[in-house]
């Protein structure tokens, strides 16, 4: 099933004046010069048996989305990465599901990278991430599927230890964030 309100540019109303919206190609085609940084993270977390991290779903307070209230599920799960020609790193996971989470969740976001002055930490920042959920065979007809095109990500990668830490605000109607950690 598709959530028509969150399915991206292909489903904009024909009445919408597209000239008023920014052209995404303008900022996705810019060369950020971070190809080497993206490759370092990509090399650390790709390949059979090397692509898994711990994903923990945490419920936050609804008012400020800053106070963690409840960790309701955690699992080791494979992540997907792709180096983009402009130096961004495409990051996400597919069909994440645990016993406590009845829907399957797929997320994708493009991450901008910046190395700190000590050259040991790469800072990660992403906006406009895509979050899609879908039902499993046990979901009743009429189940709501939370979706978002506004997910945000921040985190870091330590080059010397290959430690990855990501806080992924899914921007769903309920305040859920994914805490993603990995160490190689």
Q: Please tell me which residue, 99 or 158, carries the higher pLDDT value.
A: 158
pLDDT bucket at 30, cuts 50 / 70 / 90: confident
**pTM (predicted TM-score):** 0.82
Of 27, 26, 23, 32, nearest in space to 86 by CA:
32
Report yes or no: 92 and 84 within 8 Å, Cβ to Cβ: no
Rounded mean pLDDT, 153-180: 96
The whole-number pLDDT of residue 4 equals: 42
* pLDDT score recorded for residue 65: 92
- Tell me the CB-side half-sphere exposure of residue 158, using CA atoms within 13 A: 8
**pLDDT value at residue 16:** 54
- Binning pLDDT at 50, 70 and 90, where does residue 145 land? confident
Write out pLDDT tens, residues 82-124. Answer: 999 999 999 999 999 988 887 899 999 999 999 998 899 999 9
Collect all residues with Cβ–Cβ distance below 8 Å to 108 and sequence separation of at least 6.
80, 90, 91, 92, 129, 130
CATH topology for 24-136+143-182 is Porin (2.40.160)
User: Are 118 and 142 spatial neighbours (Cβ–Cβ below 8 Å)?
Assistant: no
Contact criterion met (CB below 8 Å) for 179 and 154: no
Across 27-146, the runs of DSSP E, i.e. the strands, are 52-60, 68-78, 80-83, 89-98, 101-115, 121-134
Per-residue confidence (pLDDT) for residue 2, from 0 to 100: 41
User: In the structure, what pLDDT confidence band is assigned to residue 19 with cuts at 50, 70 and 90?
Assistant: low
């Amino acid at each position: 099933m598709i959530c028509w309100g969150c399915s991206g540019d292909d489903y904009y109303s024909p009445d919408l004046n597209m000239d008023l919206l920014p052209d995404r190609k303008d900022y996705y085609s810019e060369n950020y010069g971070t190809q080497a940084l993206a490759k370092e993270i990509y090399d650390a977390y790709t390949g059979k048996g090397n692509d898994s991290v711990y994903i923990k779903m945490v419920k936050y307070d609804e008012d400020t989305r800053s106070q963690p209230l409840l960790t309701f599920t955690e699992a080791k799960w494979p992540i997907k990465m792709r180096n983009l020609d402009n130096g961004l790193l495409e990051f996400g996971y597919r069909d994440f599901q645990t016993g406590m989470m009845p829907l399957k969740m797929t997320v994708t976001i493009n991450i901008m990278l910046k190395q700190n002055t000590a050259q040991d930490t790469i800072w990660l920042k992403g906006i406009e991430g895509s979050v899609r959920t879908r039902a499993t065979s046990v979901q009743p007809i009429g189940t709501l599927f939370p979706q978002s095109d506004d997910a945000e990500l921040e985190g870091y990668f330590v080059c010397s230890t290959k430690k990855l830490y990501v806080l992924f605000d899914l921007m769903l109607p309920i305040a859920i964030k994914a805490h993603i950690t990995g160490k190689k």
